[in-house]
Structure 1
Amino acid sequence: MNRPIRIGVQIQPQHADYKRIRMAVVEAEETGVDIIFNWDHFFPLSGDSEGLHFECWTMLGAWAELTSRAEIGALVTCNSYRNPDLLADMARTVDHMSNGRLILGIGAGWFQRDYDEYGYEFGTPGTRLADLAQALPRIRARWRKLNPLPTRNIPILIGGGGERKTLRMVAEHADIWHSFSDVNALVRKSRILADHCVDVRRDRNTIERSVAVPALGKTPPASFARPLIESGATLFTIGVSGPDFNLDSVREWVAWRDQYNAANR
């Protein structure tokens, strides 16, 4: 499958008031990004740990009304924080609010402070992955029962790189796999994902590969992206944080995307 390059931006909802976050979302859509993500945490992940912060899914509902073209989603929702059937209904609702632009990004969870302060059981990586494995079919089953149904088959993005469990879930359930790997690890994990796809009789090419990329300094997007594209990645997401949400690098990536896609039609 010959996929076009896509560009995402993660508007990290920390260290800024909501008015500034809102402005950043509007600006990001105006730059032409394909997807606008936030994240699903209750406290900042960098900088002042007690700094300003806002909740993920409440925000996505507002972004559904605020935007009109870009897809939206969390990179990624923590499975532990919500009942899977409730999460399915929330996703279906935002899907309708956005006229079919929601991506359900989901993962097993990892940030212990969120769990401890909000009263969730942190458990172990194994128990959290087991919970995610049980949740994914429940989410799809709930979507089939809701009235109205989702506007489309809501794409599921699974984040993580665990080779035995997470990549198996990607093969079984995901439309997009988000990797936090470098190029060498991405190549290895892509091979393992391909093996899982064979086991579950899934065409590996139906799964889009997504990676996070840094805000650029002197390295142009073309040079940075080339080995990632050769490794199968086609979705590149730049994270930006408050209070400023500088989108200069995002504009560079979008301009490169347009040049690349035009040259590779």
Structure 2
Amino acid sequence: MGPPPESPTGPLDRKLCQVGGVNQNYTSVAGTPYHIQIEDLGPVQDKVSGRELRRVNVIVYANYGEQNAQIVHGRDHDYPDIRSHAHNTFIKSRIADLAAEARRVIEEAEQKQVMRIKCLIREYYITKSDAVKKEFEEANTVFPFLFSRAFLELKMERAAAPPVAPTVAAPDPVVEAPLPVFDEARPAAHILSELTTEIERIVSEIEDGIQTLKAAGKADDILVQTCRKLVARAQETLAERAASGFTVRRLEMTRNSLTTTWRQVQSRLKS
């Protein structure tokens, strides 16, 4: 659907030609936390063409709230500079569409990233290249959830591969190289135990920190409510834990959220 025609009553004031935007957290299928930020910049002058147009900016952050957060997608969407209520309504509908499109872009990009990581791991089996190893280790640092997914898919593909029946006298069997050993290859129960201990420690620190803030009269209602919800959610997650890849990812997400909140509490304690 194209933009509506200009208003018959004359153009709106420039300041009335902005409809806000979207600030939306999104967790991908693989478990990576994202933040989608969409802003209606209103009428602007394009620096290249010199034309007046209506610009909507989209930015997507990966690993949102973590130290390794980064922008993974950014794009301006330009529309005609029509200063009317109808056009504002049109822009508002486009913002909703762009939010849905951003989620699709995230999932498609993650599928490509998983495929890339799988290719890197396979290449390392063959070449034992330090450069390749460094590359997929960096991927593990930046996209830990995707690395876990790629590694798990490789193991499943390997387990599901049917044996090839020899058609001629076969030479001595070649022992296939094992998968490299990463943290993800450890028993899930061990990882769960470590994550559980870490989450319980952070929860205790948050609760103590909030009590200290209250005693000092520094407690912020929003922060207190956020901490209360996160702690309750963490306790529910711990109560449901099971030795599965999904639960490991869920515990990792819980730990990361708690860590971010604990930093906020620490900052308030130091102020």
Please confirm whether the aligned pair reaches a TM-score higher than 0.5, indicating the same fold: no
Structure whose residues are more often helix by fraction? 2
Structure of larger gyration radius: 2
**Larger RCO: 1 or 2 (CA < 8 Å, sep 6+):** 1
TM-score by length of 1: 0.29
TM-score normalised to structure 2 length: 0.28
